[in-house]
Each structure stands twice: as structure tokens, then as C-alpha cells.
């Protein structure tokens, strides 16, 4: 049995990761413990993965076990990936740059034993620590420690030092509740573990910092502050970590059938299919449903079926896919999206809980999208556009039960789909809203949102394509208010229409003022316009960007989205039937 697993996240460390791993291994050999060394390449672009493969081939494959991630997922995601393949009773987390030298590992082990601790963390403030520490890092560390101690209340002197030893069950329980993937990962991890009753001890470390500011950029400090405040909010105000659901372990790996409805082949569909080759969970099949024939000769390394459907709507395509699915779980993803490498792995674990019938996850804007598409993504991410539904477009939100979710990232039990008859085919868009209503109301199952079940969803570029898509959503939401009010008759959906009515009334008042003379309304005009001024100020604040053009484009996109959605919602509210309700050949 492996006694100790050492996990080292690494990003663009090709020049020194090999030597660093040799140093760590020399320390591990002196402990006399059975161990495994798990470096995790977090989507490096400098050849780090090649170095790790060569390093692994030069030793025992049971000891040297690198994990290669195709995309950068942040420290949290990298450590989770390493933990999932680890086997040790104890797990040591150690930064791959080896600024923290591993020579004190025997002290960590002794402290865990002598203090009956569940976690031993390295502390720069320990009296026996040997630290070469530039003044700016000391200052930043002191300020951050003071804030953490005041807001979070952890009884320790350091959270950020990158050497931590955990008992396996403690680390596993904390990782299951994690949300932060990057800068405040250490803080959240320790806050969760401490809240669950873990005893934490501290040990000395030896640290040799470089002379630069390192990670202390303006962007890093900003994101660290945001993530840390989010941890405080979830810990102290929501009490989220104490009540978050951790599903029971699965007794076997269920087969997942991935269903992709599409008009025809495209570079985005190719990107999506290629991404499934890198899935960490391998028990799946993919079913593609194009209008016509599609070349399926390429071997992606997994079962792929192509079923031409003719020019029918997405709901009808998905029902054909459901009928052909062999899996116990059916996963829906759009052809203009592609999955994170752990998409399937993060989703299937929830289906060990029998009350869960479906699961949704975020569809974030891909980092490679163009300027206008990224601006479209920024519009959807804006709190005044998506409100309480921002979790659909942003990772890192909290897990929760939901009752309405789009099919771009949706998992549903096959038996639940069979029991409700799949998708209704008389609407597009909006068919996924009705599917979710049937899952909750007819099948009496829960739908859960999980922020780690991530896909990258290409956005419509501003302005025309974005507004066409949003207008369809607005019309059908307005129409559904009358027909399917359970998930559509909500005040937030009416707000854009109320905003449009206000703008019309305001324009009428100013037109009347010009007609009868400005002196009559005079000072009252500013009062009447004050809500608009307040609106412009808030949207300017929430769309802020260092790039002034991107800032202006995004704010204009938010304004036009509100206006066009409000108009289309009102049209849907007044319509006697939806355009796609009885038109079987309408298609995106």
C-alpha cells in the first residue's frame, strides 16, 4: 500500500521541473516510506508535458505518475486531477517550482504523529523556518494574513505557503466541496477542512524566493481579493460548506451517451469531437445528429455514431439520439461547445444519488474566441443581464438545485427521459425549459447545478447575431409566461420590458416638453431621467475594462440586450402562438 502521495502542480516549468522532481524524490527515499510522485502539468505551453513523460520513462511507473492536462484549469483543478489518481494514505501538496524546499518533510510527518493532526501546513512565520523573503512579499503576506485572520478566523499563521500534508480522507472531503480553482485555493481548502473539524498543525519550511514580484501582479492581487471575499461570503454568510451536498460514491461506472444535435459539419463540431478524446472518464459513447451525411471515418478513440436526421429542429434530433442511446445517462452538449477534460468525470458522480434526475454546468466563453464574441460573452456574464442566472456563464458559483437549464450542458438519466417522453417537439427555442419542468414536476426528480461540470460555449458575436439569439429567447420566455408559468412567470423576466416601457415614457415626456416649451417641465426633467442615469452608471461599473473600446462595446451590448429582449418578451406575451410551435422544419 502506498503510504505517501506527493502532488506537484506545474505550469510552464520545462526548464526546471525535471531537476525539481529529482530533488523531491531524493528526500522521499530517505523517509523510508512507500510513495508515489504525481506531477500535474496544468496545460503548459512550453513543453513541460514532454519533460514529464521523459522523466516518467526513466523510473518506476508505479512511483513516477505524471498527469497531463490539455488545458490550464488553475491550481485547484490541477490538484484535484492529481488527487483523483493518487493512492496514498497521506497526501503532500507541494508547488512544482520548488520555492519551498522539501527537506522538512520528516518534520511534517513527525508533527502529524505527535500532535494527532489531520493537516500539517508549512508556515513562513514558524520560528524555525528559514526564509529568504523580499520585503514586498513580506508586506503582501502580512496584509493578507491579517485580513484572513479577521474575516475567516483560521487559527494558523499562514495559509499560502505551498507545502501541506493531509490525511487522505480529510483532503478528499474538502476537495469535494471546493469551488475556487486558482488564487484563493489554499484558503478555501483550509477553511473547509477546519470547518469540518480537522485539526491543523504548523511546521517550519525553507523558502528561497527570487528577487522579482513573482505572482504579485495587479491582476493577481485583484483576483485573489475577489476569490478570498467569495470564500468569506460562502463560509460566514451562506454557511455553504457545511451544507453542500456530497453525493455517495458510485458502485460502478455508468455508460454515458453524449448527444450532439447539429445542422451539419463545422470546425466547431470537429473541435467538440476532438475534446472528447481527452476525457478522463472513458465509459461513454458519442451520437452526432446532423441534417445530412457526415464523414465519421476519423478514429477519435471512442465509440462514435452519426445519425442523419434531415432538417428537423434540435428537440426532434435529441429525441432520436435518446432512442439510440445505450447509456444510463444521456449528456447533451451543443455542437458550438466543447467539454473540459473532466466534464464527464465531474458529472457522473452525482448520479449515485437517486433523487437527482439531471445535472447542469456552466458554459463559459472560450479563451480563444474573437473580440466580438468575447464581448458577447461579457454581456451574458453581466449581473444586470443574467441576474440570478449568471451561474450559467461563469464557473465558481455554488452548487444548488435548479429547475430550468439549457441543453448546451445538461445530463439526464435515461430512464427519466423515457418516462417523460423526451423533449417536446412543438417549440424551438424553449424545449429545454419544458424538459426541465417535466423532470421536476412529472418525474419528481431534482436538477442540480455543479460549477466543475464545465463546457466552453462559443458566443454569438455582438451585435446582430447576439441580438437575434437573445430575441428568440425573449419571445419564447414571454410566450411561456402564459402557457408554462411554473418556470417562466418570474419578475426578473419582466424587468427588461418594464425598462423599455420606461424609456418610451421618458421619450414621450421629453417630446412633450419640446412641444410645449422646456420651461414648463424644466427641473423635473432631471428627476424623470434619474433612473436612466443610475442605470448607465451601474452598467458602466459592471462592464468596466482596462480597454476603453471593449468597455464601451460591452456597455452598449448590455443596453441593446435589455431593449431587444424587453421588446421581444412583450411580443411573446401578446402572441397567440409561437412561430415555431407548429412549424416542423424551422431550424437554427
Give the pLDDT of the chain (588 residues) as one tens digit per residue.
Answer: 679 999 999 999 999 999 999 999 999 988 888 999 999 999 899 999 999 999 998 877 779 999 998 888 888 888 988 999 999 999 999 988 888 888 889 999 999 999 999 999 998 888 888 877 666 666 777 777 777 777 788 888 888 788 999 999 999 999 989 887 776 888 899 999 998 899 999 999 888 665 443 455 666 777 777 888 888 888 888 888 888 888 888 989 999 999 999 999 999 999 999 999 989 899 999 999 999 988 878 899 999 999 999 988 899 999 999 999 999 999 999 999 999 988 999 999 999 999 999 999 999 999 899 999 999 999 999 999 999 899 999 877 889 999 999 999 999 999 999 999 999 988 888 899 999 999 999 999 999 999 999 999 999 999 999 999 999 999 999 999 998 998 899 999 999 999 999 999 988 877 766 655 555 455 666 778 889 999 999 999 999 999 999 999 999 999 999 999 999 999 999 998 877 664 444 444
Same domain for 211 and 358, yes or no, is no
Question: Other C-beta atoms within 10 Å of 197: how many?
Answer: 9
Phi first, then psi: what are they for 378, rounded to 5°?
Answer: -65, -35
- What is the C-alpha separation between 417 and 293, in angstroms, rounded? 27
Residues 6+ positions from 5 with CB-CB distance below 8 Å: 35, 36, 38, 82, 83, 86, 87, 88, 90, 91, 92
- What is the C-alpha separation between 66 and 567, in angstroms, rounded? 54
- pLDDT score for 8: 94
- DSSP letter for each residue of 113-182: HHTT-SEEEE-TTSTT-EEE--HHHHHHHHHHHHHHHHHT--SSS-S--SEEEEEHHHHHHHHTT----S
Q: Output the CA torsion 511→513→514→515 (10° steps).
A: 90
- What is the C-alpha separation between 83 and 282, in angstroms, rounded? 18
Crossing angle of helices 491-516 and 524-542, rounded to 10°: 140
| 24 lies in some domain | yes
Residues 6+ positions from 272 with CB-CB distance below 8 Å: 260, 333, 335, 336, 337, 338, 339
Of 222, 243, 264, which closes a domain?
243
Crossing angle of helices 185-195 and 74-85, rounded to 10°: 60
Asked if residue 356 lies in contact with residue 448, where contact means CB atoms within 8 angstroms, the answer is yes
Asked if residue 460 lies in contact with residue 365, where contact means CB atoms within 8 angstroms, the answer is no
- pLDDT score for 524: 67
- pLDDT score for 199: 95
* Residue 278: DSSP 8-state: T
Length of the chain: 588
Same domain for 125 and 186, yes or no, is yes
- pLDDT score for 158: 83
Asked if residue 258 lies in contact with residue 287, where contact means CB atoms within 8 angstroms, the answer is yes
CA nearest neighbour of 388 among 456, 490, 298: 490
Same domain for 442 and 520, yes or no, is no
Of 243, 266, 286, which closes a domain?
243
**What are the residues facing 122 on neighbouring strands?**
203
Number of domains into which the chain is organized = 3
Same domain for 167 and 280, yes or no, is no
| 582 lies in some domain | no
| 368 lies in some domain | no
CA nearest neighbour of 335 among 279, 247, 399, 260: 260
Asked if residue 38 lies in contact with residue 82, where contact means CB atoms within 8 angstroms, the answer is yes
Question: Other C-beta atoms within 10 Å of 26: how many?
Answer: 11
Cα–chain center distance at 506: 40
Domain holding 18, by residue range, is: 4-243
pTM for the model stands at: 0.85
* Residue 390: DSSP 8-state: G
Q: Report angle CA 508, 511, 516 to the nearest 5 degrees.
A: 120
| 300 lies in some domain | yes
Same domain for 353 and 430, yes or no, is yes
**CATH number of the domain encompassing residue 202:** 3.90.550.10
Phi first, then psi: what are they for 330, rounded to 5°?
Answer: -110, 125
Same domain for 505 and 457, yes or no, is no
Of 219, 243, 267, which closes a domain?
243
**Buried b / exposed e across 481-511, counting CB within 10 Å, b at 16+?**
beebeebbeeeebbbbbebbeebeeeeeeee
Cα–chain center distance at 409: 12
- What is the C-alpha separation between 10 and 162, in angstroms, rounded? 12
Distances (CA, A) of 452 to 183, 341, 375, 391, 575: 16, 11, 23, 11, 39
Asked if residue 186 lies in contact with residue 111, where contact means CB atoms within 8 angstroms, the answer is no
| 479 lies in some domain | no
| 392 lies in some domain | no
CA nearest neighbour of 35 among 63, 67, 7, 56: 63
CA nearest neighbour of 336 among 423, 471, 459: 459
Asked if residue 212 lies in contact with residue 173, where contact means CB atoms within 8 angstroms, the answer is no
Residue 542, classed as helix, strand or coil, is helix
Question: Other C-beta atoms within 10 Å of 397: how many?
Answer: 17
- What is the C-alpha separation between 70 and 272, in angstroms, rounded? 14
- pLDDT score for 213: 38
How many helices, marked H, and strands, marked E, lie in the chain?
Answer: 22, 21
Asked if residue 53 lies in contact with residue 85, where contact means CB atoms within 8 angstroms, the answer is no
Same domain for 455 and 498, yes or no, is no
**What are the residues facing 164 on neighbouring strands?**
93, 121
Residue 335, classed as helix, strand or coil, is coil
**What are the residues facing 356 on neighbouring strands?**
446
Same domain for 281 and 341, yes or no, is yes
Phi first, then psi: what are they for 132, rounded to 5°?
Answer: -100, 110
Grid coordinates in use for 59? 523510473
CA nearest neighbour of 558 among 572, 540, 533, 531: 540
- What is the C-alpha separation between 80 and 65, in angstroms, rounded? 15
- What is the C-alpha separation between 180 and 502, in angstroms, rounded? 40
Residue 287, classed as helix, strand or coil, is strand
- What is the C-alpha separation between 126 and 68, in angstroms, rounded? 34
Same domain for 299 and 183, yes or no, is no
Same domain for 127 and 226, yes or no, is yes
| 277 lies in some domain | yes
Grid coordinates in use for 83? 488527487
Q: Considering Cα of 562, then 567, then 573, then 578, what sign does the dihedral take?
A: negative
Asked if residue 138 lies in contact with residue 239, where contact means CB atoms within 8 angstroms, the answer is no
| 371 lies in some domain | no
- pLDDT score for 166: 96
Same domain for 232 and 280, yes or no, is no
Same domain for 230 and 271, yes or no, is no
- What is the C-alpha separation between 484 and 305, in angstroms, rounded? 35
- pLDDT score for 317: 95
Asked if residue 435 lies in contact with residue 531, where contact means CB atoms within 8 angstroms, the answer is no
Amino acid at each position: 500500500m502506498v503510504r505517501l502521495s506527493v502532488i506537484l502542480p506545474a505550469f510552464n516549468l520545462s526548464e526546471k521541473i525535471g531537476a525539481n522532481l529529482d530533488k523531491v524524490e531524493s528526500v522521499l527515499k530517505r523517509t523510508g516510506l512507500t510513495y508515489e510522485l504525481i506531477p500535474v502539468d496544468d496545460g503548459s505551453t512550453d513543453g513541460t508535458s514532454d519533460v514529464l513523460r521523459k522523466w516518467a520513462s526513466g523510473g518506476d511507473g508505479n512511483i513516477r505518475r505524471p498527469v497531463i492536462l490539455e488545458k490550464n484549469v488553475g491550481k485547484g483543478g490541477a490538484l484535484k486531477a492529481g488527487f483523483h489518481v493518487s493512492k496514498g494514505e497521506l497526501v503532500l501538496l507541494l508547488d512544482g517550482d520548488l520555492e519551498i524546499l522539501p527537506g522538512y518533510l520528516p518534520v511534517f510527518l513527525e508533527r502529524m504523529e505527535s500532535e494527532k493532526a489531520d493537516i500539517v501546513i508549512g508556515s513562513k512565520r514558524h520560528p524555525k523556518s528559514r526564509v529568504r523573503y523580499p520585503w514586498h512579499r513580506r508586506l503582501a503576506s502580512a496584509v493578507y494574513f491579517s485580513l484572513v485572520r479577521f474575516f475567516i478566523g483560521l487559527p494558523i499563521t499562514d495559509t499560502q505557503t505551498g507545502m501541506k500534508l493531509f490525511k487522505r480522507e480529510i483532503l478528499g472531503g474538502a476537495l469535494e466541496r471546493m469551488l475556487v480553482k486558482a488564487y484563493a485555493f489554499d484558503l478555501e481548502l483550509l477553511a473547509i477542512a477546519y470547518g469540518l473539524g480537522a485539526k491543523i498543525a504548523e511546521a517550519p519550511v525553507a523558502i528561497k524566493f527570487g528577487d522579482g514580484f513573482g505572482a504579485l501582479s495587479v491582476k493577481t492581487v485583484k483576483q485573489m481579493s475577489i476569490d478570498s471575499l467569495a470564500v468569506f461570503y460562502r463560509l460566514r454568510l451562506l454557511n455553504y460548506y457545511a451544507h453542500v451536498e456530497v453525493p455517495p460514491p458510485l458502485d460502478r461506472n455508468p455508460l454515458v451517451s453524449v448527444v450532439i444535435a447539429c445542422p451539419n459539419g463545422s470546425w466547431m463540431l470537429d473541435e467538440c469531437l476532438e475534446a472528447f478524446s481527452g476525457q478522463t472518464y472513458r465509459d461513454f459513447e458519442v451520437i452526432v445528429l446532423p441534417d445530412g451525411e457526415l464523414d465519421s471515418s476519423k478514429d477519435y478513440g471512442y465509440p462514435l455514431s452519426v445519425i442523419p436526421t434531415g432538417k428537423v429542429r434540435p428537440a426532434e434530433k435529441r429525441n432520436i439520439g435518446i432512442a439510440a442511446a445505450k447509456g444510463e445517462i444521456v449528456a447533451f452538449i451543443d455542437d458550438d461547445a466543447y467539454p473540459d477534460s473532466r466534464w464527464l468525470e465531474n458529472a457522473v458522480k452525482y448520479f449515485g444519488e437517486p433523487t437527482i434526475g439531471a445535472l447542469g454546468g456552466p458554459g463559459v466563453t472560450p479563451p480563444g474566441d474573437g473580440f466580438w464574441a468575447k464581448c458577447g460573452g461579457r454581456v451574458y456574464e453581466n449581473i444586470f443581464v443574467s441576474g440570478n442566472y449568471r451561474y450559467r456563464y461563469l464557473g465558481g458559483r455554488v452548487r444548488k438545485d435548479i429547475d430550468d437549464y439549457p441543453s448546451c450542458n445538461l445530463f439526464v438519466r435515461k430512464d427519466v427521459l423515457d418516462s417523460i417522453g423526451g423533449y417536446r417537439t412543438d417549440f424551438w427555442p424553449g424545449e429545454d425549459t419544458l424538459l426541465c419542468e417535466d423532470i421536476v414536476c412529472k418525474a419528481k426528480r431534482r436538477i442540480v447545478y455543479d460549477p466543475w461540470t464545465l463546457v466552453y460555449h462559443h458566443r454569438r458575436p455582438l451585435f446582430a447575431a447576439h441580438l437575434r439569439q437573445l430575441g428568440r429567447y425573449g419571445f419564447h420566455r414571454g410566450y411561456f409566461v402564459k402557457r408554462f408559468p411554473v418556470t417562466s412567470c418570474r419578475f426578473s423576466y419582466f424587468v427588461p420590458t418594464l425598462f423599455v416601457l420606461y424609456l418610451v415614457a421618458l421619450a414621450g415626456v421629453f417630446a412633450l416638453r419640446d412641444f410645449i416649451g422646456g420651461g414648463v417641465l424644466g427641473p423635473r426633467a432631471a428627476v424623470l431621467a434619474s433612473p436612466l442615469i443610475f442605470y448607465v452608471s451601474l452598467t458602466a461599473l459592471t462592464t468596466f475594462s482596462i480597454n476603453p473600446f471593449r468597455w464601451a462595446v460591452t456597455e452598449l451590448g448590455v443596453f441593446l440586450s435589455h431593449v431587444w429582449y424587453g421588446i421581444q418578451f412583450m411580443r411573446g406575451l401578446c402572441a397567440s402562438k409561437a412561430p415555431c410551435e407548429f412549424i416542423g422544419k424551422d431550424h437554427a
